[in-house]
Structure 1
């Protein structure tokens, strides 16, 4: 893999060609905000989830009645992307269908990922194009992990505060699959005080109602996050790991006991032949 660096007066960001995944985010004061990928806990940092989000039953999807093996969150995060452009404060990578991907996901696609800086913010945009001759179902999501505690916020309580003040119901996971029965929201008037015990049974998944923005905060430190065309939200960490993932998605894991057909996965997207879809999130670093 190769590392591409982009920067402006306020931020320096490194992006790997493997998965077009952010490797670091450092503000001009030297503070590092992105999880560093310590494999003792979790080697990811900010993977793209495509062409599925979450797990498939028996780690297989069905397309037109034919089963295909696929790992949790799909293959894009483990694929080598082509660098299309490095503009100094932005970079653009591309992944297209090939012999290996077609055995897993039998559609001709193009996935372009852009990382762009503006002030103390990073915007990550995914554009998916269906280059096939038939409708193309898929899921797509983002999985950025940020330090918990944030730099300079050791010992302070950390919160996730939803912009809409909502109390979205929670979907539970069983073997990585979505249970049909929803659970009460852990948010109170849009506020969730983070505690590792919240994640004892895996991620907190909110199918609807989380809105399109949040603030991850502690004292005078904060990450302001907004997203577009991504109706689902998940929060996750692993054990006592010092990171929190803030994950907006368009698509979720398959339903426990349900179908493995890719078009029946909850909240999945479908693009017609020649059509494209855009999905993005923006994070701003405060303090």
Structure 2
């Protein structure tokens, strides 16, 4: 896909991967609808987008609120006349043992990581079809490929949004709307600030800018999946598919240390 002058919605655009995507797409140039809970960070990103030659429209919204997905889609249409690309990037996390999580923490992850992108995509589909060459980008997670202990709900939502993307791509085949799933590994974003997991726990970090750049390459090359983590991630995915008991054993050896490192990991 040629991204020049496209109308693009990015959720979770105030920080992290969403912010990095917005700034890198600005120079295409692009017409960006920046979505997030807080107006302040979005306005800061919008100002930077405009400095780089792009256009920006801010929508401060709670995507889990009733009616919010429709409002976002309508706002992008009203601002830029249509919609070419939807990036479902917004997400949250609450790690820890499942029985220690509060019910609201479980439901909050499901609402933002899974339900919201499904409903926003549903609301955006007429606009994406009308574009004639529409695209949905779902930002999943490496944990959506290889599930980790203490991330049971998060893993479920990230695997869920990825399978949603795969199913939707097949549903829309030949109808002018494609779907790309992006699987970041551990990424240096505000979302990870409450985690103490490092390389010794299997978390090897890369920058949000690198993830965003890889996603943009994937869009440009009409890829179906962008998987970060290099050969290490590929080997782990293959091992989990072919010998899941071996992955169980590998993770069991670091389970206690991992629990201690991630038990306070929360953006909920």
TM-score range, shorter chain: 0.3 to 0.5
TM superposition score normalised by structure 2: 0.32
Q: Considering fraction of residues, name the structure with more strand.
A: 1
Higher helix residue share:
2
TM-score, with normalisation over the residues of structure 1? 0.31
